[in-house]
Structure 1
């Protein structure tokens, strides 16, 4: 009986180690920016290998916002100061509009100018210098480039 329990424990430890290694690898892959599409003060960034955790997403933005400004001129605030940047997973690439719920870009010629709507992260800011980070399960706020805090949903 003890030998059987040891085998199960060893299998559980190995499976846990493999899972942890896989999650570690997922977080270490570099984010690949495929394209950036702009529409006034809204920008869509199409990516592959985006971080899976809220902290990873926010950290990625904070580390790369200057690079994004230099390379892609985003964010592009409106005259009154607000902007929105939405990060979309590129998935299987550009597709035709055929499905009703695809996101299509006006700065590309149809018919292959749409993606599946798979938003993973968004960043918005207003003239009050408050930045809101939106993830799948909530929102975070950052005032004047200081500490990031989760907004409690009530």
Structure 2
């Protein structure tokens, strides 16, 4: 093999290993719950390091739903059983309402009681639909058997 080809192969291998290591590091970081804001059966959970993949997000919920109930007392279903939990990327932290379309929380005093609207995941439960998971572009439902199925977009 020529020296030039060996150098190119070495550079590509180094870049590939670096990228693989970076993505492995990203996927192994633990989720940080920064705050929980509630409005009856609706909860907003501000997070950092949330999983990237749909499967990772749903798996995280299934593994941590008891912890969320024990530590933060969420979800708090309405009388009919409905609840909704939205997980928001906390990003750069709380901000003033000044910018259009920020998510602001009534349980905090202004001016810095808002975040950028960057929803990363949501979970809801209702009589008609059962448990639903919403990621960026997809909706999944949990069947009574526990199987999770992707709902086709129409």
TM-score, normalization: structure 2?
0.94
Q: Which residue of 1 aligns with 2:115?
A: 115
**Rounded Cα–Cα distance in structure 2 between residues aligned with 1:70 and 1:61:** 14
Question: Which runs of structure 1 show a deviation greater than 3 angstroms over 4 or more consecutive aligned residues?
Answer: none
How many residue pairs align between the two structures?
Answer: 154
1:131 CA drift (Å): 1.0
Gapped regions of structure 2 (runs ≥ 5): none
Q: Which residue of 2 aligns with 1:43?
A: 43
Contact residue 27 and residue 51 of structure 1 kept, 8 A:
yes
SS at match of 2:15: helix
SS at match of 1:16: helix
SS at match of 1:76: coil
TM-score, normalization: structure 1?
0.94
SS at match of 1:122: strand
Q: Which residue of 1 aligns with 2:26?
A: 26
Choose 121-130 or 92-101, whichever is displaced more. Answer: 121-130
Equivalent runs, 1:1-154 vs 2, <5 Å: 2-128=2-128, 130-144=130-144, 146-154=146-154
Gapped regions of structure 1 (runs ≥ 5): none
**Rounded Cα–Cα distance in structure 1 between residues aligned with 2:142 and 2:24:** 27
**Rounded Cα–Cα distance in structure 1 between residues aligned with 2:29 and 2:101:** 29
1:128 CA drift (Å): 4.6
CA deviation string 1:7-58 (max 9, x = no partner): 2122111111111111111111111100000011110000111111111111
**Rounded Cα–Cα distance in structure 2 between residues aligned with 1:125 and 1:151:** 15
**Rounded Cα–Cα distance in structure 2 between residues aligned with 1:66 and 1:129:** 21
